[in-house]
Amino acid sequence: MEDRSSHIIRQSIFEWLRQQIDIYGHVLDWQTLTKGFNYKGETVSLIGAKGIWKPKQIKQFPISITSVLKSNYNDEILKNGIISYSYRGIDPMHYDNVGLRECMLQQIPIIYLHQIYKGKYYVDFPFFVVGDDPATLSFSISAESEQVLDNLNILNEPEGVYRRSYKTREVLTRLHQTSFRERVLAAYKEHCTICRLKHRSLLDAAHIIPDSEGGKPVVQNGLTLCKIHHAAYDQNIIGISPDYQVEVREDILMEIDGPMLKHGLQETHGHKLILPRKEEYKPNKDWLDVRYQRFRSA
């Protein structure tokens, strides 16, 4: 069992994280995670240089695990929604691996951190270690405890018959959506690519090719658009050509209404997108063309 003082610190961390997520959402930065939580005058870090992390104030078991971009480890989300998380190194008895194994045996909750880009992490909890496979040097991680998974029979269901209503699926969907939004907004320096609006709460990461049509969750398939231009793009009121030029549908150009129509939509006709400087972040022209042809046909 976890000793009382460590248990109290763990629960205090969770309560603090709930407050941070309520205020800022599920994306937190490195500084907040390393220096933001204070317990009885001491700074308790929730993330460190190692993927399996235990701060010095907690005596026995890890508090968090982190999946890092371009890592040497082979973390992946399996088809049943379970996360495969790689061991530290290749020794099953390394103390970090032993600590995470004990979290599994005692069903001690941990924090899951997924790096979106350098310095920014998707944060969710509680997660549980629900499996250990020394043959593949990996643990199985879930937002549901082992007891809940047993009741749902998740781990033993045949491929293609997975229950989609349980919590892990919801968490992973939110992770993917949040990661896409954060990467796209960062690439565009948090402004609408059409009108330059910089109010983050009024910005969306719009897909060029939608998820429902097999669109990839990559920056090249995204545009940062304010909410009015996002809605107009989705409704084919505006189109974006493969050479990054904005077009407004002809009937909308001819319409007479108030200043919002005039300044918010009609005057964007012929504008060039304000694009990321890095070539690798610019919208894919082939995908833009597929979407543009749909606009032209409308």
Model confidence over 4-62: pLDDT tens digits? 999 999 999 999 999 999 999 999 999 999 999 999 999 999 999 889 999 999 999 99
Annotate the chain with three-state secondary structure: CCCHHHHHHHHHHHHHHHHHHHHHCCEEEHHHHHHCCEECCEECCCCCCCCEECCCCCCCCCCEEEECCCCCCCCEECCCCCEEEECCCCCCCCHHHHHHHHHHHHCCCEEEEEEEECCEEEEEEEEEEEEEECCCCEEEEECCCHHHHHHHCCCCCCCCCCCCCCHHHHHHHHHHHHHHHHHHHHHCCCCCCCCCCCCHHHEEEEECCCHHHCCCCCHHHEEEEEHHHHHHHHCCCEEECCCCEEEECHHHHHCCCCHHHHHHHHHHCCCECCCCCCHHHCCCHHHHHHHHHHHHHC
Mean pLDDT, rounded, for 101-113: 94
C-beta of residue 208 within 8 angstroms of C-beta of residue 233? no
231 pLDDT above the threshold of 50: yes
C-beta of residue 45 within 8 angstroms of C-beta of residue 55? yes
Mean pLDDT, rounded, for 126-152: 78
CA distance 138 to 86: 4
Q: Which backbone phi and psi does 236 adopt, to 5 degrees? A: 60, 30
C-beta of residue 231 within 8 angstroms of C-beta of residue 260? no
pLDDT tens, residue by residue, 164-213 = 335 677 777 788 889 999 999 999 999 999 999 999 999 999 999 998 89
What is the chain's Cα-based Rg? 23
